[in-house]
Amino acid sequence: MTTNANTTQGIRRITIKFPFPTHKNAITDDYIVSGDVLGVGVSGKVYRIQSRRSGQKYALKILTDSDLSRREVILHKKACEDCEYIVKILHVYQNMFLKHKSILIVMEYMEGGELFSRITSRSKSGYTERDAARIIAMIVQAVAHLHCMDIAHRDLKLENLLFATKEDDSILKLSDFGFAKEGNNEDLPYKTPCFTPYYVAPEVISKMRYDKACDIWSMGVILYILLCGFPPFYSKSDEARLSDDMARKIKAGDYQFDQKEWGSVSDEAKSTIQQMLKVNPAERITIDKIRDCSWLTGLTSDRPINLNLLQDVDARNQIESEFTNANNLQRRLDQDGSDGVMTVRGPEASRISKKRAAQKRRLEAEQQRTTTD
């Protein structure tokens, strides 16, 4: 794959060619394109579309045509061909869209929606540790497939994990390869700090060279959220960036298993998180060892998990809003096809911190009243 992008009189020349056939006709010849936005990825919006021939629903991602976009599509298509846990690319169109030269990617329609929405909807109806183990096992399958292909996803997060159907036993699939990178090795590790603040590994924000172990850290953050309803690292300030306090905690691996939220969670689950959230990437558990982890392969507890924070409608909406704000503040990197360093701003405000503090104050007040009575 050619990766050097040339420019002529300020116009960027595209040098990467697709290694597979693409469609050159207008996508509206084959699909009805609705205005319904299914999601916004790091590199473009995703719309709901419908086949004119069959009436079947699909998802359409639209990218501005560039070497960077082509690299994303090529990596995604390559990765999804032999893995059922990665969203499938069905067709790729090269055409004009809204007067811009674009790449239009037709993907399978993930009717079940985002992972965060699923766990919040089940927080009152018997969501268990076994459910969380099943979810993380599917994520592990996707990441193991990528790492075997020498690809780091670099943007693992709840919003990039989608359920195929609305059924409880639906398969979960990984999407959005806007930050994915191929070909890392010990002599030439990654250096661009691509991340969403809640999920970023310490070596990434430290501007150190890093490798695929950054995906393991992000999985640890996801597992933590799956088991308690909020992330292990969040800002306590109102600054619209990755605060110094949040960065310090990430670099130190400073997080807690508070009894209130974690009392019903098994020691095996906590140990799995601790192995994923090792600050030193060399000490972090590998993807192959995670696959053999007893917590995933054994009989995981089916006791309901305490997701009290998500059962509070206002708190749930605020947490979801804060995740969205963090996603919206992401920026696309590698504009010239090479790695570079840039600042990525973080959560808009610490709603999570404030809501947890308010919840703790209410619980303490209730306990005090009980003692007095």
Residue list for the binding site for ATP: 61
Q: Is 155 a catalytic residue?
A: yes
Q: How far, in whole angstroms, is CA 346 from its chain's centroid?
A: 15
3-state secondary structure of 36: strand
Nearest to 279, CA basis, from 181, 190, 210, 179: 210
Out of 65, 131, 155, 334, which one is annotated catalytic?
A: 155
3-state secondary structure of 144: helix
Nearest to 141, CA basis, from 79, 190, 97: 79
* DSSP code, position 158: G
Backbone angles phi, psi at 255, to 5 degrees: -140, 165
Q: What is the DSSP string of 40-89?
A: E-SS-EEEEEEETTT--EEEEEEEE-SHHHHHHHHHHHHHHTT-TTBPPE
**Can you name the residues that pair with 45 across neighbouring β-strands?**
40
Nearest to 210, CA basis, from 156, 147, 280: 280
Pairing of strands 100-108, 151-152: unpaired
Known catalytic residues? 155
